[in-house]
């Protein structure tokens, strides 16, 4: 009964947080009403997510350039800055709420959920804050296929340009890391005992702790996260907040959905966009771009907007009555990191973290009043990840194809008591799920539009597991979970594998290869890392949508900069890679318009230092009165 009372306390907390997220996400200080039809800017950025916020910052460094950032969502809810409150943004107004088309053998034949952030900061307001650049070989592969300038050697400076690494042991590696950038990166202030227990289990299996963002990848790591002293650092907080009300040449407009890119039919030169108010379609208009439009909507919304604007596969556009401006493979090459739910550890009472109502109040007080510390300043066992190799990696190369991680939940095993599987802060749990994802899947999907209405969601066909090799990798991944369950570290700590057959797989032996495949088919889990739908490639690549400078083929003054341009999805979480793409894109734009990026970056850094010192002086002055 005590556990049930604790779960009920969490349920009350969940209800309050969901209400607060909904309330805050409607807050709008920059509505489309601030725009006038025909307003002109040098650059228009579509989408204020991982890439858009970075580009808005970097392009507005040039004081004589005017920059407009249009975001379909509203302001970022402040409450989602609490790391352990991650899940409360899903299925709220800050989530696009995308669903895939049903596919046999995926998600039990039902649509899969694909949450995407819809607010300033994009998916960085919803994600797990994991800072993982992927493998150096990912970028070397990009370069080897004709994308000049995208090798690991080429992109490493752009990773470092953003980074402000706060962990001395990591930051001391100056070859791979840096300090002083806009994006704070570091381990969460709080790791509970189960993080340490899982590390001991992995080490017992022979895996060493490594820095994924340096030389070695195979092994385990307590993640570095995009957080600062226990608070989420979305790209909105990291790149926009410091400069939003300081640079007069930057205008940010929220709740503005771009419905079409304007392209001259004769010279194919991009000259602006059409938009409508997200909450009132009677408000809208046209804004013009004197130099360029940069699309940063992500791997789902960017191809949708291109197709709505006449750029995409001829047959898709013809079917919905859109005139074709450029016949390109927009929406093809869709990739995602796919996994399977269902391998669950039940935890003994001593291993569980199910607080009393008093504990919850204390944790909230510790977080809100005592320097963002305590359990809420972390993400429970979700802050541990690792890499291993499947049967398809037969050499000694440090290029693993499986990324494994742990996720947790509160589960009341008595259905008559309270609620089951509620949304709750990540730091509270009594079960742990082992999930392992294919970071280089062989299968490819596609995205198409089904109408001319920009408010109709695109049709997403993930085509997970259409290549049988992907099932083989899932089998190897879940077999590794069985090995982990047999370690002394987990057994002594009170971890028990729940061997209750998952729905749809009741007639198969738990732990058999057929059972693992059944699990993958019926309880598919994506890591929400879609990529590749506006592929970057050389001109002779029939699937390429943008060139290595991210310019759309056949259309002038139009670029795409987000995860959609990845020729092959990177072997890790996407956020760091997308920020890097935006940093590099900003420099390419500056160079193409004759601006010196190094000089302007140094000037901006001096301005940051001056503002920081001025703020300290004013605070000191005020404290004397």
Q: Catalytic positions, please?
A: 529
The burial class, CB within 10 Å (0-12 / 13-18 / 19+), for 496 is middle
Cβ-contact 532, 335 below 8 angstroms = yes
CB 62 within 8 A of CB 110: no
Per-residue DSSP letter, 389: -
CA distance 479 to 470: 14
Sign, CA dihedral 385-389-391-393, equals positive
The tokens 């979700």 sit on which residue?
382
Both tokens assigned to 461: 């066909």
- C-alpha distance across the termini of the chain, in Å: 54
582, two tokens: 């935006």
Contact by Cβ (8 Å): 583, 594: no
What secondary structure, in 3-state letters, does 87-108 show?
HHHCCCCCECCEECCCECCEHH
Q: Nearest-CA neighbor of 514 among 483, 467, 480, 471?
A: 471
- The CA dihedral of 358, 359, 360, 362, to the nearest 10 degrees, is 90
Q: Would you say 535 and 568 are in contact if contact means Cβ atoms under 8 Å apart?
A: no
Tokens 């702790």, residue?
209
DSSP characters for 473-533? HHHHHHHHHHHHHTSHHHHHHTEEE--PPPTT-TTS-TTSHHHHHHHHHHSEEE-S--B-T
Question: Helix, strand or coil for residue 375?
Answer: helix
Contact 57, 45 (CB under 8 A): no
Distance CA 65, CA 602 (A): 17
């Amino acid at each position: 009964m005590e556990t049930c009372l604790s779960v009920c306390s969490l349920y009350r907390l969940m209800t309050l947080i969901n209400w607060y997220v909904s309330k805050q996400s409607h807050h709008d200080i920059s509505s489309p009403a601030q725009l006038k039809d025909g307003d002109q800017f040098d650059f228009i950025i579509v989408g204020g997510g991982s890439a858009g916020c970075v580009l808005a910052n970097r392009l507005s460094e040039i004081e004589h350039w005017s920059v407009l950032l249009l975001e379909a969502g509203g302001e970022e809810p402040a409450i989602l800055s609490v790391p352990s409150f991650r899940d409360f943004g899903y299925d709220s107004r800050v989530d696009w709420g995308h669903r895939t088309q049903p596919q046999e053998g995926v998600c039990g034949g039902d649509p899969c959920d694909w949450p995407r952030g819809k607010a300033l900061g994009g998916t960085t307001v919803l994600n797990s804050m994991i800072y993982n650049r992927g493998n150096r070989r990912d970028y070397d592969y990009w370069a080897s296929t004709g994308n000049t300038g995208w090798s690991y050697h080429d992109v490493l400076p752009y990773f470092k340009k953003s980074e402000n690494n706060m962990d001395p042991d990591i930051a001391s590696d100056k070859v791979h890391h840096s300090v002083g950038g806009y994006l704070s990166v570091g381990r969460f202030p709080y790791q509970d005992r189960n993080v340490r227990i899982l590390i001991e289990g992995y080490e017992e299996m022979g895996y060493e702790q490594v820095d994924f963002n340096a030389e070695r990848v195979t092994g385990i790591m307590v993640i570095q996260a995009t957080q600062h002293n226990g608070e989420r650092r979305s790209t909105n907080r990291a790149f926009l907040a410091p400069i939003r009300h300081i640079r007069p040449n930057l205008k940010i407009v929220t709740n503005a959905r771009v419905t079409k890119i304007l392209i001259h039919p004769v010279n194919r030169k991009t000259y602006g966009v059409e938009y409508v108010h997200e909450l009132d379609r009677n408000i809208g208009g046209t804004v013009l771009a004197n130099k360029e439009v940069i699309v940063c909507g992500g791997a789902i919304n960017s191809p949708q907007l291109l197709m709505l604007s006449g750029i995409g596969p001829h047959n898709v556009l013809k079917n919905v009555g859109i005139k074709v401006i450029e016949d390109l493979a927009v929406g093809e090459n869709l990739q995602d990191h796919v996994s399977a739910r269902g391998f669950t550890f039940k935890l003994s009472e001593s291993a569980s973290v199910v607080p009393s109502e008093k504990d919850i109040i204390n944790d909230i007080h510790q977080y809100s009043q005592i320097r963002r510390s305590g359990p809420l300043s972390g993400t429970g066992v979700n802050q541990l990840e690792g890499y291993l190799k499947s049967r398809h990696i037969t050499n000694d190369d440090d290029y693993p194809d499986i990324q494994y991680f742990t996720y947790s939940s509160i589960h009341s095993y008595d259905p008559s008591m309270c609620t089951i599987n509620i949304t709750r802060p990540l730091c509270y749990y009594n079960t742990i799920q082992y999930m392992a994802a294919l970071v280089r899947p062989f299968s490819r999907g596609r995205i198409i539009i089904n109408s001319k209405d920009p408010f109709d969601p695109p049709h997403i066909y993930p085509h997970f597991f259409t290549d049988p090799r992907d099932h083989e990798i899932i089998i190897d991944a879940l077999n590794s979970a069985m090995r982990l369950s047999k370690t002394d570290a987990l057994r002594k700590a009170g971890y028990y594998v729940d061997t209750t057959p998952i729905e749809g797989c009741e007639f198969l032996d738990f732990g058999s290869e057929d059972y693992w495949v059944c699990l993958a088919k019926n309880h598919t889990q994506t890591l929400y890392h879609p990529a590749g739908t506006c592929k970057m490639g050389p001109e002779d690549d029939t699937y390429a949508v943008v060139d290595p400078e991210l310019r759309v083929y056949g259309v002038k003054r139009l670029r795409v900069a987000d995860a959609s341009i990845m020729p092959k999805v990177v072997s890790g979480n996407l956020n760091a890679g997308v920020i890097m793409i935006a940093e590099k894109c900003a420099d390419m734009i500056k160079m193409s318009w004759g601006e010196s990026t190094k000089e302007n970056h140094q000037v901006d850094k001096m301005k940051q230092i001056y503002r920081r010192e001025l703020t300290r002086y004013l605070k000191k002055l005020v404290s004397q009165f």
